[in-house]
Amino acid sequence: MKNRIQLSLFLLPGLLLYVALFVFPTLTGLFYSFTDWDGVSPSYAFVGLDNYKDSLSSIVFRKAFGNNVEFMLTVVIAQTFISLVLALLLVRNTKTRIVLRALYFLPAILSSVSVGLIWAFMYDPSIGLINYGLNEAGMSSMARNWIGDPKIAIYSIAAVQVWAHAGQMMIVFIAGLQGIPAELYEAARMDGGSKWQVFRTVTWPLLAPSATIVVAYTTIQSFKAFDLIFTMTDGGPNYATEILTTYIYHTAFGSYSFGLASAGSMIFLVLLALLTLLQFKALRADRVSY
């Protein structure tokens, strides 16, 4: 009994923070999502489910949702693949591995606002480093209007998101790789397995827990992206990079439609929760133990 009270006391600060910073704002948001509150006036009226209907039928909301899915899928696929490749290359006991690991991890410690501002500058079609570099290297045909062309803008930002976080996910994969017993590799090799067979039958199944973490984390992180898009394009050009979080921000603070933005946030929260749930269910089924 005494132990339980002590344990509760230790949990209490965290629990209080969780209630104050997550549960309370979420419930407040839920309440306002049924009102027409503009975020400023002392008064508001209850509008039932109108905000939810308006959000779901909004052209911009639907476009933002589509962009969200496109952005998330691009980031999840690219980031998982690149971080896995980096981990496989850098798990070996080479002299340069520590320096290289640090280099790849470095972007993760930078503020995403700074990253967004710097990359927006690098992507500039006339004075940016990327097109300049391509032109100087004789690859002018590859120069693009990176964040100004609605067809590729979202992928250009996804590339920055991957650059910023692949190193972080690489560390998760390296931890997973280091946990695989060496005997299993020896046995597989003695059985005459090729590199690909060893990877497919030993490495990948035993990396499933790490992959679960990487995919789940990347999914959530890319689905709720905001800073990079806000600083690089603010949803433009012509809604090409508008995602749900920027839509919610613009609705609340650009249009003073706090009730509508709250309904958008609630829909976003449900989508995110469903996505996380599906992720864990799907990836847990793949786990293998030897």
Name the phi and psi angles at 130, rounded to 5: -65, -55
Tell me the DSSP string of 59-125: HHHHHHHHHHHHHHHHHHHHHHHHHHHHHHHHSS--TTHHHHHHHHHGGGGS-HHHHHHHHHHHT-T
Distance between CA atoms of 63 and 240, rounded to whole angstroms? 8
Half-sphere exposure of 283 (CA within 13 A, CB side): 20
CB of 33 to another protein, least distance (A): 15
Strand partners, 46: 35
Name the phi and psi angles at 149, rounded to 5: -95, 115
Q: Name which of 216 and 240 has its Cβ closer to another protein.
A: 240
- Residue 5 in the binding site for another protein (CB under 8 A): yes
Of 3, 42, 48, 93, the one binding another protein (CB under 8 A) is 42
For residue 231, give Cα distances in angstroms to 121, 147, 222, 228.
11, 12, 15, 5
- Residue 12 in the binding site for another protein (CB under 8 A): yes
Which residues in the 237-276 window bind another protein by CB under 8 A? 237-239, 249-257
Of 30, 66, 122, 148, the one binding another protein (CB under 8 A) is 148
- Residue 234 in the binding site for another protein (CB under 8 A): yes
CB of 265 to another protein, least distance (A): 14
CB of 90 to another protein, least distance (A): 34
Name the phi and psi angles at 137, rounded to 5: -85, 10
Tell me if residue 199 falls in helix, strand or coil: helix
Distance between CA atoms of 263 and 229, rounded to whole angstroms? 21
Of 32, 119, 123, 223, the one binding another protein (CB under 8 A) is 123
Question: For another protein, which stretch binds (CB under 8 A), given 86-94, 144-152, 164-172, 214-222?
Answer: 144-152
How many residues touch another protein under the rule CB under 8 A: the total is 49
Of 3, 57, 96, 141, the one binding another protein (CB under 8 A) is 57
Of 31, 38, 88, 105, the one binding another protein (CB under 8 A) is 38
- Residue 67 in the binding site for another protein (CB under 8 A): no
Residues that bind another protein (CB under 8 A): 5, 8-9, 12-13, 16-17, 20, 38-42, 50, 54, 57-60, 120-121, 123-128, 145-150, 233-239, 249-257
